[in-house]
Amino acid sequence: MSEDLFKKIIAHAKEYGFVFQSSEIYDGLSAVYDYGQNGAELKKNIREYWWKSMVQMNENIVGIDAAIFMHPTTWKASGHVDAFNDPLIDNKDSKKRYRADVLIEDYMEKIQEKIYKEVAKAAKRFGDSFDEKMYVDTNPRVVGYKEKIAEVRHRYVEALEKSDLAEIKQIIIDLEIACPMSGSRNWTDVRQFNLMFATEMGAMAEGASTIYLRPETAQGIFVNFLNVMKTGRMKIPFGIAQVGKAFRNEIVARQFIFRMREFEQMEMQFFVRPGEELKWFEHWKELRMKWHQAMGIPAEKYRFHKHDKLAHYANAAFDIEFEFPFGFKELEGIHSRTDFDLKQHEKHSGKKLQYFDPELNENYVPYVVETSIGLDRTFLAVLSSAYAEEKLDDGSERTVLRIPDFLAPFKVAIFPLTKKDGLPGKAMEIFNALRFDHMCVYEEKDNIGKRYRRQDAIGTPFCITVDHQTLEDNTVTIRYRDTMEQERIPVDKVPAIVAEKVSFSKVLAE
């Protein structure tokens, strides 16, 4: 995978109506993107997959839709006003701004990649007799790399824990980290930067107050904990799920929809008995990995990453990372948040946020295990693993999006072979029958080959062609996106074939 491939994916996403730069006619708005006609469908399907697997498939999880604006005290209670900061640093020559923590993490990641390379080389050299664990533990070069990472990590975590910004800068200097743009090591001091967007609510005269665009959806769940528990007669353990926009004034925003200033999160807070949180943490960690892999994306594209530095309120935290074209990066976080959030809201609101446990015959503030995933990052994961350029047997080439069938923006394209002889009428008849259940496209322009290519490029799994034989025996040609195989089938079999392949049920059952 390479930067080059990433550029191609971004260009493809634009050319085929998946993702556009926001307000492009005004030269765009940095790190803000719009989803086009195909992107909106794909995004909606991913959202639906998440919602069904959380809310529809779990009798003890319910979904809500809280407002983006919340009482300002929410963000005081959650700690965001005081501590939702990133350490930023500028390069004085390129004038580019970076997250100081990311510069150091990338440095460690580069060493880690050297280890992977050494291991891959050795595995090739030794063949079947290769003992990876022994090699990694004893090979002097690999051991040296590992020691270097451990040393940097130790220093870095300590600096983060103490919020020692001078030390973070010193680490960057000592490691001789250079600006990727200018190549220079001429850095400013490290400063903290709050990521929340603030705005004013109400007219000045009536005493406007500063409110924030929510930087995460989770707090909308915590402040509704009592409402949902009471009105839904929820029994612990139970979960509340929500999908919605979140806003962060990100310092570095150069990775397409991976890091946006306005994005969408899919979060679920699971409320459990104190003391049982780590058991549930393990449960959700495994389940969330399964959710990703059930889509059909190769398992080796995912890995767990344990947090080096736990937030002060967390007692366990893992990320699920995905191998994006620019390397393994966070896609989802699974956090054991203890009773921190509910306790903070109790303190600031003066309301009791407790559960009466009839089995224990006692009241307590529940502990929380959170799963938090970015919808846009999942979109990028699906899109980048789907993108393929292929050389065909006849020497021609095609670009195809192998999007999992159930997520594809359009499921079926229906083509009359020609515009004459009543073929469009027959094709329309099939189109009109299928559109009740699926997103369908009808196309009669250009030759069939071109029409196939256009559907490949947006990931449509099936193309149905109506020709003269259809008028005689009521059969059509179905062509499969991935294999490009074509089959002649009776028209009345089409709905069942399509429905089986694009159904959510099969994936959810996994």
Q: Of the candidates 41, 341, 376, 456, which one interacts with ligand ATP according to CB under 6 A?
A: 376
The side-by-side arrangement of strands in the sheet containing 262-272 is 61-64, 238-247, 262-272, 367-374, 327-338, 316-324, 302-306
* Nearest residue (CB) to ligand ATP, 374 versus 459: 374
Taking CB atoms, the residue at the shortest distance from ligand ATP is: 374
Q: Which two tokens stand for residue 236?
A: 């612990």
Residue 377 binds ligand ATP, judged by CB under 6 A: yes
Q: What is the DSSP string of 275-292?
A: T-HHHHHHHHHHHHHHHH
Residue 105 binds ligand ATP, judged by CB under 6 A: no
- Altogether, the residues listed in the chain come to a count of 510
Residue 463 binds ligand ATP, judged by CB under 6 A: no
* Nearest residue (CB) to ligand ATP, 87 versus 461: 87
Asked if residue 156 lies in contact with residue 102, where contact means CB atoms within 8 angstroms, the answer is: no
Q: Of the candidates 325, 374, 404, 416, which one interacts with ligand ATP according to CB under 6 A?
A: 374
Residue 41 binds ligand ATP, judged by CB under 6 A: no
Residue 451 binds ligand ATP, judged by CB under 6 A: no
> Least distance (Å) from ligand ATP to the CB of residue 1?
18
Asked if residue 364 lies in contact with residue 274, where contact means CB atoms within 8 angstroms, the answer is: yes
Positions 189 through 218 that interact with ligand ATP (CB under 6 A): 216
Residue 259 binds ligand ATP, judged by CB under 6 A: yes
* Nearest residue (CB) to ligand ATP, 139 versus 194: 194
> Least distance (Å) from ligand ATP to the CB of residue 146?
24
**Binding-residue pattern over the window 320 to 359 for ligand ATP, x denoting contact by CB under 6 A:** ----------xxxx--------------------------
Stretch that binds ligand ATP, among 37-45, 369-377, 424-432, 464-472 (CB under 6 A): 369-377
What letters, b where the CB count within 10 A reaches 16 and e where it falls short, cover 209-236?
A: eebbbbbbbbbbbbbbbbebbeeeebeb
* Nearest residue (CB) to ligand ATP, 335 versus 451: 335
Q: Of the candidates 41, 90, 250, 323, which one interacts with ligand ATP according to CB under 6 A?
A: 250
> Least distance (Å) from ligand ATP to the CB of residue 197?
12
Residue 260 binds ligand ATP, judged by CB under 6 A: yes
Q: DSSP H helical segments within 419-485, as ranges? A: 423-434, 448-458, 468-473
Stretch that binds ligand ATP, among 298-306, 355-363, 370-378, 442-450 (CB under 6 A): 370-378
The residues with which 335 forms a beta bridge, in sequence order, are 317, 370
CA-to-CA dists, residue 272 to 58, 306, 343, angstroms: 15, 22, 14
* CB neighbour list of residue 324: distance below 8 Å, 6 or more residues apart: 1, 6, 258, 380, 381, 384
Instruction: Quote the DSSP letter at residue 355.
Output: E
Smallest CA-to-CA distance from 191 within 88, 114, 120, 264 is with: 88
Asked if residue 419 lies in contact with residue 444, where contact means CB atoms within 8 angstroms, the answer is: yes
> Least distance (Å) from ligand ATP to the CB of residue 89?
16
Positions 263 through 292 that interact with ligand ATP (CB under 6 A): 263, 265
User: Residue 117: enclosing H or E segment and its boundaries?
Assistant: helix 100-126
User: Residue 382: enclosing H or E segment and its boundaries?
Assistant: helix 375-386
Q: Of the candidates 43, 80, 214, 248, which one interacts with ligand ATP according to CB under 6 A?
A: 248
The letter for the amino acid at 111 is I
* Residues that bind ligand ATP in the complex, under the rule CB under 6 A: 216, 248, 250, 259-260, 263, 265, 330-333, 372-374, 376-377
